[in-house]
Structure 1
């Protein structure tokens, strides 16, 4: 039985979770985007919607809210949740600030955030994937391929970051989360 489990595990692609920032699936909608309004975040303890900057929510809850907002296309609300996180130099914050800023149309500022995230954590393969997707959107396929090589060299083979960037290079389309 152990041999079967090991053989199965070796055949199934694995996903790398870099700095807690890589999740291969879109976030599931929670009360944050289904019940709360105007960028409020669901507080499980109080069972109510709270303003991210005025709440006692921990950084992981705020990060998940930021990710959920970004996936829902609510980039300004995502940024508000990110700005409420305690460490503004956290590479997760910088990566999603880059993503949301780029999606809001300011590509140079988005790239600056990605570069800042990579200064903090050169192994942040999610930042590399989003940066590569920005290069694809700008028609800079060589630069996108360089980021793909970096992802692979930094342990990101068969990760969401690698797969999404490969697909973006092939199709010319990026992802919204």
Structure 2
């Protein structure tokens, strides 16, 4: 890592949040980290180089429209298989919101192995993606891994505190007796 990038890399990422319950389509704290560019140490320039503007996938109208359609397919129509196809068609599987919704859809279809793969992919892309920590925590509860779900809850608390929707949702699920059906 180059010295100029150390401070940027050490800081936390944005996170995702919100989801169906908050009324926010993309989450309350969506962010995409700025791209890091290597710096050449001994090269001097006589002019200022303009850095590219920070862009989000959501700045692309085609992506935004496709994401909204997949989101509606999941949360309004509960057609998880179709949503997975729509999300893959966006061509941005490593975007944390996309990977998280693919994981959520696989979980709702009962494919826990694929769901886990996609939740971990979302967290690799953004370790502070709050909604993924929430959904993956619910996945842990459904698998009987209450200690792991408790860890996910602690990560959510570190990222957005104990009053955010994601924290309250997972905390409420953890308060239910083991084996209780979760409704979310």
TM-score normalised by the chain length of structure 2: 0.64
Name the structure 2 match of 1:18. Answer: 15
- What SS class does the counterpart of residue 18 from structure 1 fall into? coil
Name the structure 1 match of 2:105. Answer: 100
- Report whether the alignment pairs 1:64 with 2:68: yes
Alignment of structure 1 residues 18-57 onto 2, 5 Å: 18-19=15-16, 22-23=18-19, 24-25=21-22
Q: Deviations over 1:38-83 (max 9, x none)?
A: xxxxxxxxxxxxxxxxxx9622222222222112321012112211
Name the structure 2 match of 1:47. Answer: none
- What SS class does the counterpart of residue 154 from structure 1 fall into? helix
Q: CA RMSD in A?
A: 2.3
Consecutive unaligned residues in structure 2, runs of 5 or more: 1-13, 26-59
TM-score normalised by the chain length of structure 1: 0.66
Taking structure 1 as reference, are residues 116 and 107 closer, same or farther at Cα in structure 2, changes over 3 Å only? same
Taking structure 1 as reference, are residues 59 and 127 closer, same or farther at Cα in structure 2, changes over 3 Å only? same
Taking structure 1 as reference, are residues 102 and 86 closer, same or farther at Cα in structure 2, changes over 3 Å only? same
Q: State the shift of 1:154 in Å.
A: 1.2
**Could you tell me how far apart the structure 2 residues matched to 1:61 and 1:163 are?**
30
- What SS class does the counterpart of residue 87 from structure 1 fall into? coil
Q: Which runs of 4+ in 1 moved over 6 A?
A: none
Consecutive unaligned residues in structure 1, runs of 5 or more: 1-16, 29-55
Q: State the shift of 1:121 in Å.
A: 0.2
**Could you tell me how far apart the structure 2 residues matched to 1:69 and 1:27 are?**
16
Q: Which has the greater radius of gyration?
A: 2
The aligned length equals: 132
Q: State the shift of 1:117 in Å.
A: 0.6
Does structure 2 conserve the Cα–Cα contact (< 8 Å) formed by 1:133 and 1:165?
A: yes
